[in-house]
């Protein structure tokens, strides 16, 4: 991961030669250690650029990470006062105060526990009368903020990033998207009455996500091992939208041993973390 340098927006992801130009996979022994590494990487970026534009994800994997960011705020004074956040997605038809909305999730796990200014936290409005116009507004708000500096991603079992379900165009922008039966089955477990889970969401597009200057994907648990191997080491395909991260010039995938268990080049990924100078500070406990 390159140290955040405050570089200008780079919509075509055309970096100067010698900068970025790679995806890295970092493997940590446990989900806790993988999450700690990501929390520290985010903390470093935020210290280097206090008004960081941070792209956020939701889901079970992120809960541990957000708890650690709260810890860094409370124990080390990590300052979010100027940070601006943009979430990847929100369900269509759920009001912000619904216990199942992603706004509610973010408040519960992060926003209410750090010194983020609520006016600087953005999620698509899934209750908007004109959802198409809401998607355009969301994209414009991201652009006006200067673009996402650091995009955080999880990995869905269907291989999605955000809610970019299979066959989402790799150039897609923020839009309304029908969720797959697999995603509905996976996420409806969070709802008291699974039938209440919305069937549609607004999600940043794959193209929108790829415009983030730096990207960190956090993946934990055995259930993700197969799809992680396909996303990272398999061909780039709109059937697995997470595979599009291979096109990004500055992306780090942080996985625990369980999630990494089916990666072919695990030995090399371990070597990188154990030897490359940019990881030295993170090797210290
Ligand atoms: C939600 C999002 C999704 C999740 C993914 C993994 O905002 O971006 O892509 O990151 O579905 O979810 P968990 O961690 O629950 O397996």
Among 14-23, 26-35, 105-114, 181-190, name the one with the lowest average pLDDT: 14-23
Q: Are 18 and 1 in contact (CB under 8 A)?
A: no
Question: What angle do helix axes 60-76 and 31-48 make, rounded to 10 degrees?
Answer: 50
Expressed in angstroms and rounded, the spacing between residue 17 Cα and the centre of ligand 1 is 33
In this structure, the residue with its CA closest to atom 5 of ligand 1 is 156
18: left (phi over 0), alpha (psi -120 to 50) or beta: left
Ligand 1 pocket residues where CB is under 6 Å: 57-61, 88-89, 154-156, 160-162
Tokens 């698509």 label which residue?
124
Q: How far is the CA of 53 from the centre of ligand 1 (A)?
A: 20
How confident is the model at residue 276, as a pLDDT?
A: 95
Structure letter (DSSP) for residue 114: S
CA distances from 278 to 11, 223, 252 (A): 25, 30, 12
Distance 59 CA to ligand 1 centre (A): 4
pLDDT greater than 60 at residue 37: yes
The minimum-distance atom of ligand 1 relative to the CA of 183 is 11
Structural domains in the chain, CATH included, are 22-246 (3.40.50.1360)
- Centre of ligand 1 to C-alpha 147, Å, is 22
pLDDT tens digits for range 151-173: 999 999 999 999 999 999 999 99
Q: pTM to 2 decimals?
A: 0.94
Contact, 155 vs 228, CB < 8 A?
yes
* Burial class for 226, CB neighbours closer than 10 Å (0-12, 13-18, 19+): middle
- 73 pLDDT more than 60: yes
Average pLDDT over residues 86-94: 98
- Percent pLDDT > 90 in the chain is 92
Q: Which pLDDT band, with edges at 50, 70 and 90, does 43 fall under?
A: very high
Would you place residue 54 in the very low, low, confident or very high pLDDT band (cuts 50, 70, 90)? very high
Q: What is the pLDDT of residue 20?
A: 61
CA distance 151 to 41: 12
Query: What gap in Å lies between CA 221 and CA 261, rounded to an integer?
Result: 9
What is the pLDDT at residue 284? 81
Ligand 1 center to residue 237 CA distance, Å? 19
Tokens in use for 39? 């929390």
Q: What is the pLDDT of residues 137-148, one digit of tens each?
A: 999 999 999 999
CB 264 within 8 A of CB 38: no
186-231 pLDDT, tens per residue?
Answer: 999 999 999 999 999 999 999 999 999 999 999 999 999 999 999 9
Probe residue for ligand 1, chosen from 31, 56, 61, 203 as the CB with the greatest number of ligand atoms within 8 Å: 61
pLDDT at position 1, please? 55
pLDDT above 50: residue 66: yes
């Amino acid at each position: 991961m390159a140290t955040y340098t405050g570089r200008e927006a780079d919509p075509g992801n055309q970096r100067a030669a010698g900068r970025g130009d790679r995806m890295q996979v970092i493997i940590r022994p446990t989900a806790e250690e993988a999450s700690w590494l990501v929390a520290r990487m985010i903390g470093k970026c935020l210290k280097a650029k206090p008004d960081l534009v941070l792209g956020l994800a939701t889901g079970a994997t992120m809960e541990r990470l957000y708890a650690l960011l709260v810890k860094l705020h409370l124990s080390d004074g990590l300052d979010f006062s100027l940070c601006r956040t943009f979430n990847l997605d929100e369900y269509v038809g759920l009001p912000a105060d619904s216990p199942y909305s992603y706004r509610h999730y973010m408040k519960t796990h992060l926003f209410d526990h750090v010194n983020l200014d609520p006016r600087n936290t953005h999620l698509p409005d899934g209750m908007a009368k004109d959802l198409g116009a809401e998607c355009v507004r969301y994209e414009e708000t991201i652009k006006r903020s200067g673009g996402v500096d650091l995009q955080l991603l999880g990995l869905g079992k269907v291989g999605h990033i955000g809610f970019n379900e299979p066959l989402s165009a790799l150039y897609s922008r923020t839009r309304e998207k029908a969720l797959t039966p697999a995603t509905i089955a996976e996420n409806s477990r969070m709802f008291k009455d699974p039938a209440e889970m919305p069937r549609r969401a607004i999600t940043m597009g794959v193209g929108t996500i790829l415009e983030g200057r730096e990207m960190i994907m956090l993946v934990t648990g055995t259930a993700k091992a197969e799809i992680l191997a396909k996303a990272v080491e398999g061909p780039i395909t709109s059937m697995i939208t997470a595979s599009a991260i291979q096109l990004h010039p500055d992306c780090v995938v942080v996985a625990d041993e369980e999630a990494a268990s089916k990666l072919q080049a695990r030995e090399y990924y371990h070597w990188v973390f154990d030897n490359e100078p940019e990881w030295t500070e993170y090797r210290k406990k």
